[in-house]
Every structure is written in C-alpha cells, then in structure tokens.
Structure 1
Amino acid sequence: MLASLGSLYEYYDFVIFGFMTIYFATNCIPDYFNGKFKICIVLALFLGGYLFRPLGMYCYSKIYYLYPRIYIINWLIAGLLVTASLIMVVLVAHKTWSTFLFLILSRSIQGFARGAEAQSEFGFLSVVLGEKRGISAFGLMAGAEIGVFFALVVNSILNHTLDSQQMYEFGWRLPFAIGGVFSIIIYLLRYFMHQKRTSNQIPHMSKMLPSWMICVIYPWQMLFTSLLSGLRACLGWFLVFIVPLFFLKIFNFNYLYIGHLLLFSSVGSIISSFLVFRYVTLEYSRIILPYLILITVPVLVFFIYNLWFNFLLQLSLLFIGIISGALAVLNMQVSFSIYSPLVRLSTISVSYNIGHTLVSGFFLLIISSLSAFLEYSYSGWQHFEWWLLYLASGILILMSLVLFYLAIKLRKLKYYPELLHFIHNQRK
C-alpha cells in the first residue's frame, strides 16, 4: 500500500489536468494567443511542469543529508503539493498575463514537489523492503491505475451534478481542491502507518540508480517498457481529452452525454483488467502481449470509421477501453518479469514515468501544435479536431507496430529465479 500512495496522487492529477485543459484554455490563457494555440500552450505547461521533477529529486537528496528525519521533509513536500493545488483553486479566471504566470507557478511547484516526493518514496521503499523491494513495483503501477480510475469518477460526478456554465465558472477548480485534500490524507497514512516508526532507524537513504545508467544496462528493456507505458498513457489521453473535444466541437454533444459515452470505455477497461489479472498468468503474459498490441491498430481504425458515420460509437469506445485495461495489467506483468529484482523498483519507476510524462506529454504537444498549424495552412479544411484525431490515431498505430516488434524480440528473455518459483505456484 505504501508503494502505491505517491503514484496514486500523481496520476489522479495527470488525468484531471487532461479533463480540465479546455477550461484552462478558455479562462486562463490571454487572448494574445489564437484559440487553438491556447490548447497547445496549456499542454506545454503540463509537460513543462515535469521538467522540474529532476530538480526536486536532486534537492531532496541534498537536503536529506542535512536533515535526515525524512518525515519532516515529507511534510514540507506535502505543503508544496497543497500550495500548488491551492493556487489552482483560487486562481482568478481572467485572461491576463498574471493569471497565466500563476498557472505556470502552480505547475512548476507541482513538478518540483512530485520529484522530491518520488525520490523520497523510492529510496524509502528500497531501504525498508531490502531485497524484496522489487515487489513494490507492482504497488507503484497499481497505484497509478487506481489514481486514473479515481480521476474518472470525480470527473463523472462533476459532469452529472454541474451544467456546462457552472463547470466554466467554478467547477473546474473542484478536482484540484480534492487533490489537495487527497495529498494530505496520503501523507497522514504514510506517516502513521510506517514511515514515522522507521525514519529514525535509517542511517542512510539508499539512492536509485541514475536514469542514464539504467538505460545503458537495460537499453531494449527500457525502450520497450517506456514505450509500452507511453502507449497506455496516450490511449488514456485519447479517451479523456481528444475524443471528448471532438464530440464537443464536431458533434455538439453536451458534457453529460459525453460522460455517458466514455462510461463504455471505463466499463470495458475495468472488465478486461479484472479478467487479465485473474486468468492470465505471468508465464503467458509475454505470449499474449504482442498480439494485444497489434489488435490496437484495427480497433483504432474501426473507431475512426464509425466516427465518419456517427455509428456504433459506444461499441468502438468499449473496444478501446478493453485494450487500454488489458494493456495496463499486462504492462505490469511483463515489466515485472524482464528486470532483475535488485533494480526492478528503479527501472520500472523510471520507465513508467518516462512513458506517462515525456512520451505522452510530447505526444499531446506535437499533435496539437501540428493540428493548429495544418488548420491555419489549409483554409479549405479548417477542422482542428479532425486533424487532432487523425494525427493521434496515426501516431498510436505507429507506436503499436514498433512495440509489436519489440515485444516479439523481448519474449525470449529469461525469467529470474524468484519468478520461476512464482510461475510454478501459479501452475498449481
């Protein structure tokens, strides 16, 4: 449970920011920027916040040597996270440069604090769990999926209780207020459950392997797991940002109906996650994963085909949700099996963060910028949302084909001894 708390909060914020992007672009970005480029600016802010993560990790490692009582430092980190959420809550919804600068400040504080918190979490788990620290990698990834689900629930409740005008006026602030309260609860749980009792017993907080060293030791594995996490995250952005924006602007669906449509993808994701987790063993996950990745291609083509005719949208979204949920579980199982237990926590954490921040962040920024440029260049077909959908689908299909090749190549890697014992027990 301790392993899942930090990633749970992070990916809650990750998905909520995607849902609220349209409100930021409308309320907080100056009119100096073109309407479509406002979305690009907001997505650039989202990506820019993660550039402060390495600085947060570095500062934490330095401060720890001066003040080794880690629970005190963690309360300072919690204070920064609450401050970032509070800025979002009280942000004045005026299209002025001051509002824009406060938005930048909030995302910068968020990225810095999350980087420091990640360094604390990974180092703490490495020391407390010792040789069993590889087990905590499952907790980190499970926490991320729970955070995504929690964000979907919060967004659905808001869309069911508030109309579009209320969402534009004040509703977009509420998820960040919930996130601030959520961060306090997480640190209280960590403090009273375990970290207070052990903080004074740890003479030295072990460090994670540097990211560059991980990439040198496990080049193909890191490329594969980072892209696989990125594909899962990009599918998430596809469902929580691109598809709702398309339905809103092209089909003129209201937010409540869009929420009902997205419910099909959520149901498909939950069902497939449960079935894969329950019935697909670690041994067969490597066999199934390449073909599941390949199925992503016809599923996306089927969705675009149905969009042209406004037909079978529910079934298309259900299929995408099924693929997304199954990928989430198989990602955990396969990533767990290709790294040594001694470095599993570090490698999976780094690759998971690369996939969900850099890969998906640049994915959104690139396709939104290209879509705005193409709409501006081709006056005969000025449909930003169509360009966005086509570019996103094309990149997702390309990523799927590359991952299919890598999954086939990595299927021959050996299992580590403790996993062979686990597989033997699964067969029984």
Structure 2
Amino acid sequence: MSNQFRLNAQERKIVGLAALGGMLEFYDFIIYGMFSVYFAHQFFPSNNQLLSIIESYVVFVLGYLSRPIGGMLFSHIGDEHGRKKVLVITIILMGISSLGIGLLPTYQQIGVIAPIGLVVFRLLQGLALGGELPSTYVYISESMPNKRGSGFGITMVGVNSGLLLGSLINQLLNFAFTPAELTSYGWRIPFILGGVICLISYKIRQTLHETAAFQRIEDKPEFPLGFLFKHNLPQMIAGIATTAIMSGLVVVAIIFMPTYLHNILKVENRTISLIMTFAMLSNVLMIYILGKVANTTSPYIILRNLLIACVILIPFSYWLISLQFYAAGTIILATLEGAAAMIIPYLVTCLFPAKIRLTGVAMCYNIGFTIFGGMAPIIISSGIKADYGIYATPLIYMFVIIIVCAIGLGYAKRHSHQAI
C-alpha cells in the first residue's frame, strides 16, 4: 500500500474503536437469525416446523422494520449533537436488548408474554442498529476523507467479523453441546455473552472524539429529515436502491443460510457451523483486499463490476449447492457479500452533504435493509413452501436485487453530492 494511504496512529485508533463496536453490535443483531432454528418453536409453538421458523422470522423482520425508526431518531441526534453521542447510546441499547433475549422465559413458562417480550427486545435491537452502523459509516468517512478505502476496509472487516464471531460461537456450541442441549438452553449463551460484552465495551466508545467535518457545520437544518426529503430525495432513492445488493446478500448468504441449509436442505448443524466459519473468513478477507483497491478505484466502478460478478457467480453458487457442494456455494456467496459490505457504505456516504449526511445514510441503509433484507427470509421460506423450488426461489430473489441495485447505481452516478 502506498504511504499516502497508510493510517497514522490516531486514524488507526479511530478505525479500531469503530470496528470493535460495530462488530459487537452486528454480532448481537445477527445471532437471532443464526440461532432461531433452535428456539423458534419455544416461542412460537406449532406442529409444522417450517411454520414456526416463518413465524420466528416475522420477529426477525420486525427488527428490520424498527431500524428506519432508529435511523430517524439517532440520525437526528447525530446531525444535531454529534456522531459520537449516537455511537455511545446505541451500544448500550444493543447490550440491554441482547441480554434480555438471552434471559427471556419461553412460551411454555410464561405464555403469550414470551413472544411479546421477544418482539420488544428485537425491536430495541433494530432501533440500536438503525443508528449504530450509519453513524459508524459517517464517522469513518468524515474522519479520513482521503483514506476512505483503507478506513472502510478495516472498519468493515471489524463489523463483518461480528458475523464471523457469530459463526465461531455457533460452531463451538455445536461441538460442545448436543442438539437437544442447544435447543434446551445452549442457544441463550451467545445472546447473554454479546449483551454483557456490549455493556462493558461502551466505555471504549467514550474515548472517541467528534469529527472535524461535523464541528465545521454552520448551517445545520432544524429538522434534518425534512431537509433531506425536500432537497436530497434523488440521492436517498439512489442510496436505498444500491443498498439492495448488500442487504440481500448478507441475509441470503449469511444470516438465513444456516436455517436454509439445515431445515430445507437437511444438512447437519455441525457441518453448517464449519461451512459458515470458512465462508466468513473468505468474507472478511475480501473486504480487506477491496478496501485497498478502493483507495485508487472509484466506488462506481467497483460496484458495477460486483454486479457483473453477481450475475455470473450467484447462479453458479446455487448450482454447486444443488450438487451438494454446500461449502463451495456458500463461500462464493459470502465472498460476494464481503465485496458489497465494503463498497456500499463508502458509496452511500458520498451521496450527501455533511449537514444531513447521517440522516441520509441512515435512511438509505435502514430502508434498504428493511425492504430487501428483512423480507428475504419470509419471501424465500414462503416461496419454497409454495413449491417454487428450493434453489430457484433464492436465485430469483437475488436477480431482482441485482436489477434494483443496477438502476440505483446509475441514478447515484447522476445525483451524488461527491463524485463517485
């Protein structure tokens, strides 16, 4: 890497602290999808296992639906009072909600209060993540505007390592406990662990400093969201559409994949844990490599090439999975997700001026994830249940995502605040 893109000591501290906090919050959010296969029937009892899974993923969607609300709330705070304040509040909120899920009694123990409690804590998780990740993206973008490739590369390695951490915990628990033990109580461990770590690590966030870009803002709008809709609606539409590829891939390739492999393709949980660990290693490696590339290559070119790769490699992945090469297919999908996870935050932060940047990024990210990511498990599970095909259903869904993102990319090229 050229010396001009090397991070100095202060920048390494900023990236390290942002990455660590993002990793913990993302871990807390995604373990619901990873472990719902073990506890779905305990909160939504049913004679049909697939129906229980679908019902549990309705709660999964609620977490996504609350993210735009969290984005609106915390982005207003962030654009008015600073990015750091949001980063401190959200990690505490995520820790409380994750701990609450881990300690929540089941339907058999407390009746209907159990699923209600699960919904409440999942909504709180969504609120927290709705403010957390957009704030992290904006914080990195504003802290090192000339080194955003390196900054986003390392930060997103940290954030997506939350997925890797979840995969490793999943694997360890599958080796340490029997399926019956995991279903009985073992699934609670990752929630409790994540909650405790989050509540401890909020102190780390308190050492961060406010960005210079925020401190230079002189004409803050009184109502950033209203200003966004009035003056930057084209940028927001472009950002929502381009976010589709990131949100679709992270759910299809990582969050929903364990459930898809186990309940639909009947792969053993221990095998799935091993597959997901290697998939996440390839994921974070791709993020790191692409971060270096992004220092000298525009985000537009990178995303355009990624979409071309998706058109070729996603069908190839599901063909491999249909031949029972589960690891190979999953690793390819996870690698594509790594590329999307690195470049989409970079691109979206370019779309808006500093005075409403956090509001714009939060709305794009959270609405995009709610529409294209949050609905994915239900759409795919329901499509498979309706006999549309166990391989064709996710493939068709991802092709729709690719088309939406391609349209959004062209729109972003014309309307971005900064050149992409």
Instruction: Name the structure 2 match of 1:396.
Output: 398
8 A contact 1:242–1:389 mirrored in 2: no
Q: 1:29-428 maps to which residues of 2 (within 5 A)?
A: 29-31=44-46, 34-52=48-66, 81-95=94-108, 96-112=111-127, 138=152, 144-192=159-207, 210-211=224-225, 213-310=227-324, 312-372=325-385, 374=386, 387=389, 389-411=391-413, 416=418
1-side partners of 2:89 and 2:321: how far apart? 48
Q: Give per-residue Cα distances to partners, 1:134-191, cap 9 Å, x unaligned.
A: 9799598666434333333333333333332222122211111122112212321123
2-side partners of 1:174 and 1:106: how far apart? 16
* SS of equivalent to 1:20: helix
Q: Which runs of 5+ in 1 are unaligned?
A: 196-200, 376-385, 420-428
1-side partners of 2:349 and 2:323: how far apart? 42
* SS of equivalent to 2:188: helix
Structure 2 CA distance for partners of 1:155 and 1:327, relative to 1, 3 Å: same
2-side partners of 1:328 and 1:394: how far apart? 21
1:23 aligns with 2:38: yes
Q: Give per-residue Cα distances to partners, 1:363-393, cap 9 Å, x unaligned.
A: 2233334444x15xxxxxxxxxx74543222
Which is further off, 171-180 or 51-60?
51-60
Instruction: Name the structure 1 match of 2:10.
Output: none
2-side partners of 1:278 and 1:339: how far apart? 23
Structure 2 CA distance for partners of 1:98 and 1:410, relative to 1, 3 Å: closer
Amino acid in the other structure paired with 1:24? F
8 A contact 1:291–1:404 mirrored in 2: no
8 A contact 2:130–2:366 mirrored in 1: no
Which is further off, 281-290 or 12-21?
281-290
Shift of 1:77: 6.9
Shift of 1:264: 3.7
Which is further off, 39-48 or 171-180?
39-48
TM-score, structure 2 length as denominator?
0.75
Between the aligned residues of both structures, percent identity stands at: 22
* SS of equivalent to 1:177: helix
Shift of 1:326: 1.5
Shift of 1:297: 2.2
Q: Which runs of 5+ in 2 are unaligned?
A: 1-13
Higher relative contact order (CA 8 A, sep 6+): 2
1-side partners of 2:285 and 2:75: how far apart? 41
Query: Which structure has the larger Rg over C-alpha atoms?
Result: 1
Shift of 1:231: 2.0
Structure 2 CA distance for partners of 1:58 and 1:169, relative to 1, 3 Å: same
* SS of equivalent to 1:92: coil
2-side partners of 1:322 and 1:369: how far apart? 26
Instruction: Name the structure 2 match of 1:381.
Output: none
8 A contact 1:40–1:368 mirrored in 2: yes
Structure 2 CA distance for partners of 1:349 and 1:309, relative to 1, 3 Å: same
TM-score, structure 1 length as denominator?
0.74
- Give the length in aligned residue pairs: 394
Which is further off, 52-61 or 245-254?
52-61
Instruction: Name the structure 2 match of 1:383.
Output: none
* SS of equivalent to 2:29: helix
